[in-house]
Amino acid sequence: MGKQSSTQFFKPDQVVHKWYVVDAEGKTLGRLASGVARVLRGKHNPRFTPNFDVGDHVIVLNAEKVTLAGKRLSLKQLFHNTGYPGGARFENVKDLLKTNPEKVVEHAVKGMLPHTKLGRRIARKLKVYRGTEHPHSAQKPEVLPL
């Protein structure tokens, strides 16, 4: 028997998180969200580990210019509950894109991440802005082609 390779485990100081920027103008919401979720999770990285945060930070710009396929713009609704009995609330995506487009993109991406403690930690690395300006230029983000 030869030498067997062992599984690599990482410590937090061994992982370097890069910064990427994505322009959402003209992109379909679902396709954009799946690509962003993949980078946030770290699946684009050959050193991907499912139980550890090896993903990168992603900045999404022009959130208000994202498109939805087919009739989804008029039919799709986002649900949340106030926590009180009868507190179910539904918001149309068409209205939300006018008032709070960041929420639409964040909701789509978070739905594609794990619904665990690690998933919530990964979701904190997502930054969504309307327009082309962002306060993260000091991190020197690279353009992410999606």
What the chain holds in terms of domains, given with CATH numbers, is 18-143 (3.90.1180.10)
Largest distance between two CA atoms of the chain: 65
Cα–chain center distance at 26 = 17
Six-digit token pair at 142? 């690279």
What are residue 58's phi and psi, to 5 degrees?
A: -130, 130
DSSP 57: E
Angle, alpha carbons 97-58-39 (nearest 5°): 110
Global pTM reads 0.90
Q: What are the residues facing 81 on neighbouring strands?
A: 88
Tens digits of per-residue pLDDT, 75-85?
999 999 999 99
Q: How far apart are CA 56 and CA 126, in angstroms?
A: 9
Is pLDDT at 8 greater than 80 in this prediction?
Answer: no
Would you tell me the crossing angle of helices 29-41 and 101-110 to the nearest 10 degrees? 60
Average pLDDT over residues 9-22: 89
